Amino acid sequence: MRELIGECGSCGKPIYCKDGFFDGDQIDGKLLCNECSDNRDTGSN
């Protein structure tokens, strides 16, 4: 099951809860998709 919980605060991509697991990251109160979160962690754009 997949439930929309919001949009990425960086790129606007939809973020879902999949089978009870949050499929993204929350940093400084903002939701981020996994790709933007990974780019933030590595310093890439």
Q: Average per-residue pLDDT in the chain?
A: 90
Domain boundaries defined on the chain:
2-42
The pTM of the full predicted model, rounded to 2 decimals, is: 0.76
**pLDDT reported for residue 40:** 80
Of residues 3, 4, 12, the one with CA closest to residue 32: 12
pLDDT digits (tens, 9 = 90+) for 6-25: 999 999 999 999 998 998 99
**pLDDT reported for residue 44:** 65
Where would I find the beta strands (DSSP E) of the chain?
A: 2-7, 14-18, 21-22, 25-27, 30-32
**pLDDT reported for residue 7:** 96
